[in-house]
Amino acid sequence: MFNGLRMASLTIILIIMIIMNCKSFEFNNCVMKEIVNEIQLLRNVNHHKNIIQFFGITKRKDNENMNPDYLLILEYADSGTLRNYLKKNFTKLDWNIKLQFAIQISNAVSCMHQKGIIHRDLHSNNILIHQNMIKIADFGLSRRIEEVSSNNKDIFGILPYIDPQLLKDQANDGKKYKANKKSDVYSVGVLLWEISSGRVPFESDDTLGLTLEILNGKRETPIANTSIDYWCWEDNPDDRPNIQQVLSDLKLINLDTNEMETCENTFENDIRHNNNNNSIDNNGSLNSSTHYSLQI
């Protein structure tokens, strides 16, 4: 599963990730189109330090039935998923580190949205950590392949991160609602709660009844001692911020951030003027001398 390639004096550690197995998925033009689309998406944002780096694609022939597995060769993340990282290290993380993670996630999603890319599948098992840095991975490819090849839309396990508008399609089988940038924003809001709390959203809830509860407006309980209200969680997508607003708000409460945009059309100058008014107190709470309320 892991390969080490030595080039001159530089050792590059790669992870080979199986993205399509012909024994599990019907191999057809639709599936191949999704694979090609994933490669194109990765190439468009391959320069961003908070998005997993893409090195190439290959295929491996199955010795038993001669059907090939198609493989993406991706950057290796040394600390696993964000979910597991938070479980192991949450008590050691101060608010500066949590804010850096939140900024890095929002920064990467902002870059994707600037490139016209919608992730569609943001959750803490699709975000990796490498040398204490966020790496967004898996642009929803495996779920899209499953949909086009088998029409199986199993959403359990990632349910809390899904835009409620998409859940309405599942519940009512009505007019098709397509995932969009505001769907990613909803997922980012859930991720920011997870980073703040150190808990998986709705971990103890009954999964079967959770869809209806979310559709009826249920959200996780805001974290005490943080001046946060959860704007990203609005049911109506038009009432949610865009990802640039989320990123700007996060940076306004972070004195020491060195995060810089790496995409074109950055908006760094728009958010610098207020940084000097914000602080993090000794109790780990987010404060602002201008009584700024971070809307997540």
Backbone angles phi, psi at 261, to 5 degrees: -70, 145
DSSP one-letter code for 43: H
Q: Report which of 233, 148, 229, 137 is spatially closest to residue 183, judged by C-alpha positions.
A: 233
CB of 105 closer than 8 Å to CB of 83: no
Q: CA 84, 90, 92, 97 torsion: positive or negative?
A: positive
3-state helix, strand and coil shares in percent for the chain, rounded to the nearest 5: 40, 20, 40
For 85, the 3-state DSSP assignment is helix
198 to 128, 257, 279: CA distances (angstroms): 15, 21, 22
Q: Which residues are catalytic?
A: 121
Angle at 282 between CA 280 and CA 284, to 5 degrees: 60
